[in-house]
Amino acid sequence: PHPSLLLSLHISILTTLFYHIFFFYGSGAHRDLHYPLRRQRQMCIRDSLTGVLQTHSRSNKMPIDDIKFRTTVTHYDTLDQVSLPPDTGVYIHGLFFEGARFNKETMSIDESLRGELFTSVPVVWLEPVSRSVMTEKDDTYKCPLYKTSARAGALSTTGLSTNYVLSLDIDSGHSAPSHWILRGVAMLCMLDD
């Protein structure tokens, strides 16, 4: 079994712009051990999440193509409130909503408050599950996660933008998912300021 990892990924853009994504990873019996990892060069978040899927794939003897993430937005506002890593998967902190907010009372996406373009997202649990497990409902918004607010990047060999990370399944609340699509709501890893 792999030891738990507390990864604090500090990623610099243009050597002066920093953002923080915190991974609190749990796998196996050694969850009381935490190893900080600090990197100050640009690193692909998508690669880190692929590593989580690979670890889950190996420990459960499943093909990696048969695994996806189940998204759960937790009640934790900051990583300091999290006392233990998840049994499987990873906690992510440091994301922002653009054009909406997360309503902790309804545990769903909601309209932004007046004057708010960006709002912070509570700690998100990405749990690796089999693709056969239903993780979506009719009221699930597949919220795209981007590295920056530009939402544009070079086209990679996978056919995806280098700025796109993945889509997270978020409860769309009182509005249909098409409402949030028309508004262009997305999550961001960092803000421009």
What does the pLDDT look like over 22-60, one tens digit per residue?
A: 445 444 433 333 333 333 223 467 778 888 889 888 988
Residue 26 in contact with residue 107, Cβ under 8 Å? no
Give the pLDDT score at 185: 94
Alpha carbon distances (Å) from 123 to 46, 86, 114: 18, 12, 23
Q: What are the residue ranges in the chain where pLDDT is below 50?
A: 1-23, 25-43
Those residues whose C-beta lies under 8 Å from the C-beta of residue 142, and which sit 6 or more positions away, are: 136, 167, 168, 169, 177
Helix or strand holding residue 179 (H, E): helix 177-183
Give the pLDDT score at 159: 66
Percent helix / strand / coil, the chain, rounded to 5: 15, 35, 50
Rounded to the nearest 5 degrees, what angle is found at the Cα of 185, between the Cα atoms of 110 and 124?
70
Report how far residue 111's alpha carbon sits from residue 102's, in angstroms, rounded to the nearest whole number: 8
Q: Is this model's pTM higher than 0.85 or not?
A: no
Give the pLDDT score at 97: 94
Give the pLDDT score at 147: 85
Residue 106 in contact with residue 143, Cβ under 8 Å? no
Give the pLDDT score at 44: 62
